[in-house]
Every structure is written in C-alpha cells, then in structure tokens.
Structure 1
Amino acid sequence: MATAAQPRDEPAYISLLKPSLVGQLYSWGYLCLFVLGFTGNIFSLLTFTRPTLRSVSTGILFITLASSDTIFLLVSIIDFLDFGLGIPLVSYVNYTILCRVRLFTVSMTQICSAWVLVVISLDRWIRTRFPYKSSVICTQKKALLAVAIILILDIGIHAVMLTPLVGTIFPGVALLACGPATWDYLYFYYITWTVIQVFINCLVPVIVMLLFLIDMFTRIRAQKRNAGQQIEVQSRGRMSNPAVRRNNRLQTQLFALMLSSITVFLATNLPVAIYRIVFPRQVLTIPITEYPSVAKLSAIFQFIWSVNYTINFYIHCLTSTLFRREFRKCFNSLCKSRDTQVTPATFITAR
C-alpha cells in the first residue's frame, strides 16, 4: 500500500531510490549553478567576441569552450526539473527520447570542453615554443578546423547513445533514470564504457595539458633569463616596437586565461574521474537498501563536476587584467546601447 509520502501508483522501492539530500543538491545546488553559470557564460561569450580577443585563435577556442559549457547547463535543466523539483517528465514527454538526447549531449559536451582545453594548451605551447611560426600555425581558420574535428569525432563516439541501446530505467531517479536498454549492453555501459569515458574526457586530456604546461614553464623561465641578459641593450633604446610589446602582453594574458581554465578543470574533474571508475561496480553489486548512500555520494561528485561548466568567467576575471578590461568595455557598450535607445522624449527633442 502506498504511503502518504509517495505517489499512489509508485512502487515502494522507488521512494527508497530518492534520498532527500540528492533532491536538495539537484534543486538548490543546481539553481545556484544556473544563476552563476548562465550569467558567467553569457558574459564570457560577449567578452571573447570583442575584437581584441576574437582576433586571435585562442579567443575563438574560448568562445567554443563557453558555448559548450552553456549547452551542458541547458541540458542540466532536465535533471533540475526531474530530480530536483520532482516534476514527472515521464508523464509529459517521450522519456526514452529524452534519455537518449540527455546522455548524448552531456557526454558530448564533456569531451568537447576537455579537448578544446587541450587545443588551447597546444595553441599556447606553439606560441611559446615556436614564436616566429605561430602567426602561420595558430590562425583562426585552423582553430575552427580543430573544433570541427573534435565535434565530428565526438559525435561519432557518442552516436550509439541515440540508438535503441539506450533508454529508460527508473524515471525520475537520479543516476538510474536513463541507461542501457538491453542486458547485453548493460555490462559494457557501466563497466567498460565508463572507464573509457574517464580516460578520453579526463585522464588523457589532463596528461597532455600537464605536459604542455611543464614545457611552457620551462621555456618561459629560459626566456626570462635571456631577457635579463638583454636589459642593458634594451636600456639603450633597442627595445621591441610598441606593436610587439602589445602582442607580448596579449599573449601573456591569454596564457593566464588558459592556466586558470586548466586549473578549474583539474580541480573539478580529477576527483570525479577517480570515483567514476569505482561507481559502476557499486551500481551493479550493491543491494537496493544501500543505494541511498551511494546516490548521495554520486550526487555530490556530480555537483562538483558541474562546477567546471559554471565558474570559468569568474576565474578569468580574477586572473586576467586583459579579460577584466575587455569585459568592462563590453559591459559599458551594452549600457550605452540601452541609454541611447530612442524614447518618445528624445524623439520630440530631436525634432
């Protein structure tokens, strides 16, 4: 018999699969993420589309990163409604199609964001290691080509999630709402595929980015030593021309933006990656009575992981004077465009 706390037609074990802490995280936690994330990502897009930043390949890549993060947050609204607010989406939409689109898009944006960061690191590494060739190698067109290649491979890897192999498991239950629709696909999805995902969207990108960073730091220190030996020459007026100095400052600031983004990625993804290697085996082996504790821990890690797609704008503001300056220009231009809109009073005065 259904209790007063659960829907009349809902099986008793379903209420056990919905711990209250999970609902709180998916409601209040995600609400905060949406307020911060959508605001920050929109401002990031507006700032990186400023002429100063979009004129370089790194700016184009950061626009892609902000777009991918925004798409992730948009898809997360499904989780907010379904698991946080408890709205029974299964009653209003084709839940199986929703599951496929949700898993496909979330998985795609994970890899897209991770590998766009790798390309940003590669772009910065080329500019540090081969400064005289960077103007030819690191162009806007090649940055767009790299993004296109990532998207094509990304879609190809995750296209299986749009097939009948994926469907509905327990509608409205966090972590178990969607998944493999056949027993044959169950083991691969929860054991093999999860580990593969951890490697391609976290561990491999982390290793590649760290290698680039180590080499860049080594190179930059060597350049500073060489620069120190040339102080006397520079004091005699043989310094680079103003255009070269401006470009050097721009590249330094873009390096700071890259470093802050990678730091956020490492801090939010590595703990989740480690847990996601362990979590699938728990799902397949634990009794249903122990599910709430696993669900709570998984929801906490999921929330930490989602922070990666939310706070880049604020980290950029803290770490880069160039980004702050361009953001202020963008914000001021938006305010001026509102102030200069034609009103009846100004129209009469103009006449």
Structure 2
Amino acid sequence: MNRTNLSSSIESAAQNNTLQQSSHYIYAILFPLIFILGIVGNLFSSVIFCITKLNHISCGIYFLLLAIYDSLALIAGLHHCLAIGYNVPALSGAYCRVRNFLLYMSMDMTSWMVVAISVDRYLKARHPIKARIYATRKLSIFISCCLNVIFILKNFHLLTILIGNFTEDAADNCDPNPHYRMYSFFFNNIWPWIDFTTYALLPFILVTISNTFIIHDQYNRRFKLRKRTLDLSLIRLLLVSSISLVVCNLPISILAIIYPYISISYKTNKIYDNVAFAFDMLRLPAYISLGLNFYLYYYTSVLFRKQAIVLFQRLFHVEENTNHIQRAHRMFTDGSQRVETFSLFNNFGDFQSLSIPSLKDSCFISNFYPN
C-alpha cells in the first residue's frame, strides 16, 4: 500500500515537473514573439489612426486608444514571461503594484474600446443622420476620458501596499499581501467576479448585441436595395472584434474565478498541477489578441489596408512611377470602385466628405513628407 502511494506520488511529481518545464519553454520562446509582433503592429496602428484620414472618423479615437492600451498590456504582461519563462522574480512591492495596475487597467480599457467601437458603428448604421450630429470625435474623447476615470477608480487598490507577497512559498510575488487577510479574501474570492463582469461579461454582451444589430441592419438595407452581396469587409471587421474578445479572453476570465477552488498550487510555488498549467496556457491567447489587431485590421478592412499601404510607401520611401500613381487614382475615380468605396464610407457616416486617402494633409507630418 505504501509502495503504491509512493509510486503514485513520484509519478505525480514527475508529471508536474514536465508541465512546469513545458510552460517554461513555451513562455520563453512564444511570448517574446507575441510581444515583438504586437508592439510593432500596435505602433503602426497608432500611427495610422493618428495621422491618416482614419483619424477623422469618430471611432478613430477608440482605435487609437485600443492600440495604445494593447501595447501597455503587453508590456505589463512581460512579468509573466520573466517569471514563468526565465524564472526572474519580482523586484519589489512597488514594481508589483505598478505592474498589476497597468495590466488590469489596460485590459479593461481594451475591452471597452471594442465596446465603444461597436456601439459607434451601430449608431452609424442604425441612425446615420443623428449619428453625424451626436457621434463626433469630441464625444468619443469625452467617453474615453470617462472610461479612463472609471477604471482608474476600479483598479486603484492595486497601487496600494495591499499588493505584494514575498513569502518563501508565494505562488506569485505580485499576489496580495498575506498580512492583510481581509484584502486577501477580497482579492481571491470577490475581485475575480468584479473583474470578470467588467472585463469580459458586460463587454461580450454589448459587443454581441451591437454587432448582431449591425449585421441585421446591413442585410436588410442590401436586400431592400436589391444588391446581391453584403459588404463582407465591414462584416468581417465587426465579427473579428467580438470573436477575438470572446475566444481569447473569456476562457481565462472564467478560469480565474474557479482557479482558487480547483487548484492545489494556487497559493504556493511548491506544487504545479494541471490547473496551474491550463491557467498559464490560457493567458497566451489573451496576449495574442492584444498583438494581432493590426494584422486583423489589415486583412479584413479595405480602408485600413489602403491607409496602411500609403503609410508604408511614405515611411520606406517607395518610388512610384506615373503608371502606379494613375492606377491608384483610377481606383478612386472608376465608377465601380467608387460605388464600393462609398458603400464603405456610408457605413461609417463621417467618411462621406473625405477625399483620396493621403498623408500630406496631416499637420503632424507636413514637414516630414516633401511636396
């Protein structure tokens, strides 16, 4: 009997060690790739939504902030890469507080920027005339500021001395300080529900409802006008944001709630069980969703792709001959192409008065690009 128990314990320890080593190599190799691709992609997204024609649409502010907060969340996520992939411990309690606040704040804002974009599109599709009056860039800035204030207040406790666990067997040095038992109970049992509701559940519901109404409205509009095809570019862009939010972030949010109750390694670094391994693995899709937005925009949106191409041509000084310029001009002057372009513009409402995409209008880079 004792031999059986001993053999079982040895096998369990070997399995746990294998899982921990796998997690170590995955984070050491995969996370740096996600980080580099994400930072580069978000940087390009920020520039495109800051200095191109896309900056003039009301939801351009939301896309710009989404790219910025995606980058901040990836930077805060380096803690997991260093701790799991390279066994680098947290430097101090102050480091943990800043890191925790930055991560939770950024993740909250990324979710609600997707919500704001979806609601903005819904208003443009459902009430295009009223949207031109009320859905303005000033309102977008005001809403963004309000969301920032709300989530600063929500996550402010993460900046206090209540965070930081530097005991010998701490599972994570950035966990709550064990000397404050009431806060530890709150952080482990109540906070996950609050974070799940604000970060995943409410955004998922609002994004799904908004996108459902948008797709339904677009379908009816096309059907009444007897057009055979939908604007697949717009619909894909709508679905990408909601699918990315749900598929990549909802699983880790749900597991975070039940993790304290089903894992024996929750509060200690001496045991690494299957649940801890699953928790570490489910973090990666959430980080991937922070780094792939630029590439998804480029693949799904005709407008974004055209602006990105113009930006790349300017940044890398691509030589364009007369034929290329004329071909690019014909894309916006040809009748069939104008119908497609204006069809996309009508879906965004405030694009209708824009001319051919160009970066030379931007006062930010007027001295950078010669005439």
TM-score, with normalisation over the residues of structure 1? 0.78
The residue aligned with 1:268 is 248
The corresponding residue for 2:121 is 124
- Report the secondary structure of 2:226's partner residue: helix
Alpha-carbon distance in structure 2 between the residues aligned to 1:272 and 1:149: 27
**Cα separation, partners in 2 of 1:328 and 1:286, compared to 1, 3 Å:** closer
Write out aligned runs for 1:155-170 (5 A). 155-169=152-166
1:293 to 267, 274, 278: 274
Letter in 2 for 1:295: A
1:102 match: 99
Q: What is the root-mean-square deviation of aligned Cα atoms in Å?
A: 3.0
Alignment of 1:264-343 (within 5 A): 264-283=244-263, 290-336=271-317
Q: CA deviation at 1:313?
A: 1.0
Give the direction of change, closer, same or farther, for the CA distance of 1:21–1:208 in structure 2 (3 Å limit): same
1:86-235 equivalence runs, <5 A: 86-90=87-91, 95-169=92-166, 176-181=172-177, 182-228=180-226
Q: Are residues 134 and 253 of structure 1, via their aligned partners in 2, closer, same or farther at CA, if it must alter by over 3 Å? A: farther
Partner Cα distance (1:317, 1:52) in 2: 15
Distance 1:109 1:286 in 2: 24
Structure 1, unaligned stretches of length 5 or more?
A: 1-14, 232-248, 339-351
1:315 Cα deviation (Å)? 1.0
What residue in structure 2 maps to residue 78 of structure 1?
79
Give the number of equivalent residue pairs: 301
Deviations 1:13-63, CA, capped at 9 Å, x for gaps: xx9799222322321121111121111111111222243200101111100
| 1:336 counterpart SS class | coil
Q: Which runs of 5+ in 2 are unaligned?
A: 1-15, 320-371
Paired with 2:255 and 2:246, the residues of 1 have a C-alpha distance of 14
Q: Deviations over 1:202-248 (max 9, x none)?
A: 0111011111112112211221122129x9xxxxxxxxxxxxxxxxx
Cα pair 2:89 2:173 within 8 Å, conserved: no
What does 1:11-26 align with in structure 2 at a 5 Å threshold?
19-26=20-27
Cα offset for 1:261?
Answer: 2.1
1:29 and 2:27 aligned: no
SS of structure 2 residue aligned to 1:167? coil
